[in-house]
Amino acid sequence: MSGQSGVGPSEPRKPELEVGLNAVILAVTAHQPRVLTVGTQELGEDFFGMDTWHLPPALPFGSFDEKNDRTLELCMRRSVLEKTGGELGYVEQLYTFADQGRDPRERAGGSRVLSVGYLALARERDLSQAENSSWQHCYRYFPWEDWRGGRPRIIGDIESALLDWSHGSAERRERVEICFGLGNAGWDAYQVLERYELLYEAGLISEYWTDRGRDDDMPADELPSDGALGEAMAFDHRRILATGLGRIRGKLRYRPVVFELLPPTFTLLELQRVVEALTGLRVHKQNFRRQVERAGLVEGTGQRSGKTGGRPAELFRFRRAVLRERRAPGMATLQGARRSGN
Amino acid sequence: MSGQSGVGPSEPRKPELEVGLNAVILAVTAHQPRVLTVGTQELGEDFFGMDTWHLPPALPFGSFDEKNDRTLELCMRRSVLEKTGGELGYVEQLYTFADQGRDPRERAGGSRVLSVGYLALARERDLSQAENSSWQHCYRYFPWEDWRGGRPRIIGDIESALLDWSHGSAERRERVEICFGLGNAGWDAYQVLERYELLYEAGLISEYWTDRGRDDDMPADELPSDGALGEAMAFDHRRILATGLGRIRGKLRYRPVVFELLPPTFTLLELQRVVEALTGLRVHKQNFRRQVERAGLVEGTGQRSGKTGGRPAELFRFRRAVLRERRAPGMATLQGARRSGN
DNA sequence: TCAAAAGTGTTATCCTTACACCCATGT
DNA sequence: ACATGGGTGTAAGGATAACACTTTTGA
């Protein structure tokens, strides 16, 4: 295997390798999935030698301090606590990237940057709003992922652009069909990252052009992004967000993670709305309730909810005992797009 | 977030942070899941200031060279190619650790080490045997994970030891019940890592004592390991292997990854044996065949296999088109332990 | 009285599981 | 002949998906 990295000249040196953390912090409020973002302005105007006022929002990020952080996860929790004053609940590691050129600090003569992505779930009000950070509607960045109102219009354009792109290559064509459910399989909500990467490769994502144009210092506002294919994020953060959204959609199927996003008690419709927000799919109300109850995921509290808009609903809570009783306690069957509403 | 790491004194300096890679390379042969290991002797007797002749086998590992490796995955592939002369097929990232003290080089005054774990699937003969490396039966390290011959004897001992350990703590008790399927859920093959970590915390894994005794330079052969609770691996490599085994078991359910471990054509029984080897569970032969065929995962070639020991079987191949047709093309239903053999 | 949401009942269809049994080949 | 593995049929039970319908509240 490769040897130790060489020892460079010993003057006002920079470390050769830095480790950064990026957090996808998700919450669901008002029936919408939201992600915590920070403005890149806070980095200072000349950070990375770029005019950051033109940079789109970024995921919260921090540096791993090998002197003081015992583990990566503790570093994550500390960073978020310092920034927002809120404690994180559920945290899971997503992915580690070290791709050459993914961080602009490299280009500016800095050291190679390795980035560890994390996914965290929060109840929005648990994280008090910090300076420069805000909750953004997730589907701003992935309009094609929200099927709750039926098949998104944009998918039609995407399909023709991709089929055009794949013209002549059976392999490309197969990828397009699999990712966007053009075959018999239908839409698979889980494949968020696969779809994003396909669109990126096909040049339909504005970051693709930003990344390529970097060396020309092309100003961001001249790039071909009209928002129809989703708004941009800074660096590769949109890709990390796609990883996170895909992960949570997958996990929903076999782990009771939804409850991390809900208050201790909730109505079944509230639960349903959170699931729908995350999966981007509508579910059948009655069957959903039956499945959730039969699966033993929740138990009623005697109380009823006040403001439902209609008949008061019973308040439920997560039933921990389900972990002992079922092998994969999740919303396993909510896998594909449905036709009918309700 | 924390600032840039401080710039230290500038003499015969070491980098503050190194990145290493660990690979879990799995294959299945003779109905057994196997992992590629290297002897720690190759590191030299005084590596890390330890007498490595007493160290148990390790996973193949290499250093990430930020000067030359464009991505982590390419580094992985290059390292394995250099070591074994074989190309890897399917590769997936597992997890990144930076826990303080997990690497002995740190103790020896070296820099902090961050380790990225990878899972790779291979057909055993694709990787020619290299010096100092060998294929080890996975369940040597996790005897409790192999239920193919019925419930392993050792589970009885584990249960009593764990219940003893959890005495008085409802939380511990719940973990034990969930991990080892003492409730109604039954055995969940997927939770390999959860079980390993539980056993580790309970002090039933020999590495637990090695890790604690490190500073006393306690010789490995005096540690309380008789192999009944699995043989030890070097460093935290057994934990990484547990992560990999759990990952592949989970993935099997919804992705057609088994075929990465099989030759291009195979009989249905060969396929079944590979699935059984990985999950550690027996499956019902007839139903397995029906499911696999109905799911469209395979297609017959006209040919028949020679050496089956009985009636010649038809040779099948993986049917790629299934990717376009089904949402989660895997062995979804093979989730729990079964009673009957066959 | 109407809108909005909570809840109940019922059905056809499909999938899983289990069991029983027959077929083809080598020793 | 018999062991070994390949391969078919079928029936019970359960889960899913799609309906239609009733109940309870607030405005």
With a cut of 70, say whether residue A133 has pLDDT above it: yes
Q: What is the predicted pLDDT for the residue at B37?
A: 92
With a cut of 50, say whether residue A201 has pLDDT above it: yes
Instruction: Dump pLDDT digits (tens) for B214-271.
Output: 544 444 444 444 567 999 999 899 999 999 999 999 999 889 999 999 999 999 999 9
With a cut of 80, say whether residue A49 has pLDDT above it: no
Last residue of a domain, one of B87, B105, B138: B138
Token readout for B283 is: 């499956």
Buried b / exposed e across A63-87, counting CB within 10 Å, b at 16+?
A: bbbbeebeebbebbbbbbeebbebe
Instruction: Dump pLDDT digits (tens) for A311-323.
Output: 888 999 999 999 9
Q: What is the predicted pLDDT for the residue at A231?
A: 93
Token readout for A30 is: 């008002």
Residue B235 counted as domain residue:
no
Q: Look at the block and give the residue holding tokens 């990717």.
A: B323
* Residues whose C-beta lies under 7 Å from strand D: A 284, 286-287, 291, 294, 310-312, 332-333, 338-340; B 267-269, 285-286, 289, 308-314
Q: What is the predicted pLDDT for the residue at A214?
A: 54
Please report the beta strands in chain B, taking only residues with DSSP state E, as ranges in sequence order: 17-29, 32-38, 61-63, 91-97, 112-121, 133-137, 265-266, 298-304, 314-318
Residue B177 and residue B123 share a domain: no
Residues in chain A closer than 8 A to B63 (CB atoms): 1-5
Q: What is the predicted pLDDT for the residue at B339?
A: 38
- Closest residue to C24 (CA to C1') is B311
**How many domains does chain A contain in total?**
3
Confidence grade of residue A325 (pLDDT, cut at 50, 70, 90):
confident
Of chain B, the percentage scoring pLDDT greater than 90 comes to: 45
Q: How far is A9 from chain B (nearest CA, A)?
A: 9
Token readout for A158 is: 């995407």
From the list A1, A79, A95, the residue facing B83 with the nearest CB is A1
Lowest-confidence pick of A112-121, A316-325, B18-27, B99-108: B99-108
Q: What is the predicted pLDDT for the residue at B5?
A: 37
Confidence grade of residue B136 (pLDDT, cut at 50, 70, 90):
very high
DSSP code of residue B150: B
Q: Which residues contact A49 (CB under 8 A, 6 or more apart)?
A: A104, A108
Long-range CB pairs of A106-111 (<8 Å, 24+ gap) are: A107/A48, A107/A214, A107/A215, A108/A48, A108/A49, A110/A14, A110/A18, A111/A14, A111/A15, A111/A16, A111/A17, A111/A18, A111/B66
Q: What is the predicted pLDDT for the residue at B332?
A: 72
D strand bases under 7 Å from protein CB:
3-9, 15-20, 23-26
> Nearest CA to A115 among A236, A240, A21, A37?
A21
With a cut of 50, say whether residue B305 has pLDDT above it: yes
Query: How far does chain A reach from its first CA to its final CA, in angstroms?
Result: 58
Residue A299 and residue A267 share a domain: yes
Q: For residue B267, which amino acid is it?
A: T
Token readout for B266 is: 């195979």
Which domain CATH number covers A311? 1.10.10.10
Residue B197, sorted as left (phi over 0), alpha (psi -120 to 50) or beta, turns out to be alpha
Residue B132 counted as domain residue:
yes
Confidence grade of residue A186 (pLDDT, cut at 50, 70, 90):
confident
| Nucleotide closest to B289 measured between CA and C1' | D7
Residue B84 and residue B130 share a domain: yes
Q: For residue A272, which amino acid is it?
A: Q
With a cut of 90, say whether residue A56 has pLDDT above it: no
Q: Is the separation of the CB atoms in B87 and B81 below 8 Å?
A: yes
Residue A1 counted as domain residue:
no
> Nearest CA to B339 among B279, B282, B272?
B282
Distance CA B331, CA B342 (A): 18
Q: For residue B140, which amino acid is it?
A: R
Q: Is the CB of B284 under 7 A from strand C?
A: yes
Q: What is the predicted pLDDT for the residue at B227?
A: 67
> Nearest CA to B303 among B335, B256, B252, B263?
B263
Residue A101 and residue A28 share a domain: yes
Residue to test with chain A: of B66, B184, B297, most A Cβ within 10 A: B66
Average pLDDT over residues B307-333: 83
Contact across the interface for A93 and B95, Cβ inside 8 Å: yes
Q: What is the predicted pLDDT for the residue at A58?
A: 93
Query: pLDDT higher for A187 or B309?
Result: A187
With a cut of 60, say whether residue B45 has pLDDT above it: no
Q: What is the predicted pLDDT for the residue at B10?
A: 39
Q: Name the residue of chain B whose CA is nearest to A182's CA.
A: B324
Residues in chain B closer than 8 A to A93 (CB atoms): 95-96
Angstrom distance, B286 CA to C22 C1': 14
Average pLDDT over residues B167-196: 92
The segment with the largest mean pLDDT, out of A196-210, B55-69, B206-220, is A196-210
Residue B157 and residue B85 share a domain: no
Q: Name the residue of chain B whose CA is nearest to A80's CA.
A: B1
pLDDT mean across residues, chain A? 82
Average pLDDT over residues B95-109: 77
Q: List, in sequence order, every residue forming a beta bridge with A107; answer none if it has no partner.
A: none
Q: Is the separation of the CB atoms in B200 and B239 below 8 Å?
A: yes
Confidence grade of residue B9 (pLDDT, cut at 50, 70, 90):
very low
Q: Look at the block and give the residue holding tokens 């290559």.
A: A169
Residue A176 and residue A133 share a domain: no
Query: pLDDT higher for B130 or A139?
Result: A139
Calculate the CA A58 to chain-centre distance.
12
| DSSP secondary structure letters along B166-200 | TTT-HHHHHHHHHHHT-SSS--BTT-HHHHHHHHH
Confidence grade of residue A7 (pLDDT, cut at 50, 70, 90):
very low
Residue A211 and residue A281 share a domain: no
Q: Look at the block and give the residue holding tokens 């992705």.
A: B255
Q: Is the CB of A54 under 7 A from strand C?
A: no
Average pLDDT over residues A138-166: 93
Which domain CATH number covers A121? 3.90.79.10
Instruction: Dump pLDDT digits (tens) for A219-277.
Output: 444 444 456 799 999 989 999 999 999 999 999 988 999 999 999 999 999 999 999 99
Contact across the interface for B114 and A5, Cβ inside 8 Å: no
Residues in chain A closer than 8 A to B190 (CB atoms): 328
Confidence grade of residue A6 (pLDDT, cut at 50, 70, 90):
very low
With a cut of 80, say whether residue A301 has pLDDT above it: yes
Q: What is the predicted pLDDT for the residue at B201?
A: 94
Q: What is the predicted pLDDT for the residue at A339?
A: 38
Q: Is the separation of the CB atoms in B321 and A174 below 8 Å?
A: no
Range of the domain at A295: 257-333
Residue A225 and residue A165 share a domain: yes
Token readout for B213 is: 């005794």
Residue B242 counted as domain residue:
no
Average pLDDT over residues B14-39: 88
pTM of this prediction exceeds 0.85: yes
Residue B133 counted as domain residue:
yes
In 10 A of CB B117, how many CB atoms?
25
Confidence grade of residue B337 (pLDDT, cut at 50, 70, 90):
very low
Q: How far is A176 from chain B (nearest CA, A)?
A: 10
Residue B38 counted as domain residue:
yes
Average pLDDT over residues A160-175: 94
From the list A12, A177, A324, the residue facing B174 with the nearest CB is A324
> Nearest CA to A36 among A122, A151, A145, A142?
A122
In 10 A of CB A245, how many CB atoms?
28
CB pairs under 8 A between A and B: 173
pLDDT mean across residues, chain B? 82
Q: What is the predicted pLDDT for the residue at A95?
A: 96
> Nearest CA to A91 among A109, A73, A103, A105?
A73
Residue A110 counted as domain residue:
yes
Residue B214 counted as domain residue:
yes
Angstrom distance, A280 CA to C10 C1': 29
Query: How are the residues of chain A apportioned to helix, strand and coil, as percentages rounded to the nearest 5?
Result: 40, 20, 45
Distance CA A198, CA A215 (A): 23
Q: Look at the block and give the residue holding tokens 């109850």.
A: A293
Q: Is the separation of the CB atoms in A250 and A335 below 8 Å?
A: no
With a cut of 90, say whether residue A194 has pLDDT above it: yes
Confidence grade of residue B312 (pLDDT, cut at 50, 70, 90):
confident
Q: For residue A337, which amino acid is it?
A: A
User: What is the rounded (10 degree) CA torsion for B268, B188, B226, B220?
Assistant: 100
Residue A99 and residue A163 share a domain: no
Residue B320 and residue B267 share a domain: yes
Contact across the interface for A336 and B323, Cβ inside 8 Å: no
Burial of B237 (0-12, 13-18, 19+ CB in 10 A): buried
Last residue of a domain, one of B91, B115, B138: B138
Q: What is the predicted pLDDT for the residue at B41?
A: 64
Residue A75 and residue A51 share a domain: yes
Average pLDDT over residues A165-188: 90
Q: Name the residue of chain A whose CA is nearest to B93's CA.
A: A95
Q: For residue A245, which amino acid is it?
A: L
Q: What is the predicted pLDDT for the residue at B220?
A: 45
Angstrom distance, A292 CA to C11 C1': 21
Q: What is the predicted pLDDT for the residue at B222?
A: 42
Q: Which residues contact A187 (CB under 8 A, 6 or more apart)?
A: A147, A180, A181, A281, A336, A337
Contact across the interface for A62 and B186, Cβ inside 8 Å: no
Q: List, in sequence order, every residue forming a beta bridge with A97; answer none if it has no partner.
A: A115
Q: Is the CB of B167 under 7 A from strand C?
A: no
Q: What is the CA radius of gyration of chain A?
A: 22
Contact across the interface for B96 and A96, Cβ inside 8 Å: yes
Angstrom distance, A32 CA to D22 C1': 31
Query: pLDDT higher for A216 or B32?
Result: B32
- Closest residue to D2 (CA to C1') is B310
Instruction: Dump pLDDT digits (tens) for A65-114.
Output: 888 888 999 999 998 888 777 788 899 999 999 888 777 666 666 678 89
Last residue of a domain, one of A112, A138, A164: A138
Of chain A, the percentage scoring pLDDT greater than 70 comes to: 80
DSSP code of residue A139: G
Q: What is the predicted pLDDT for the residue at B100?
A: 80
Q: Is the separation of the CB atoms in A1 and B79 below 8 Å?
A: yes
Residues in chain B closer than 8 A to A7 (CB atoms): 12-13
The segment with the largest mean pLDDT, out of B77-81, B102-106, B128-132, B192-196, is B192-196
Residue A127 and residue A171 share a domain: no
| Nucleotide closest to A268 measured between CA and C1' | C6
Distance CA B332, CA B330 (A): 5
Average pLDDT over residues A45-50: 49
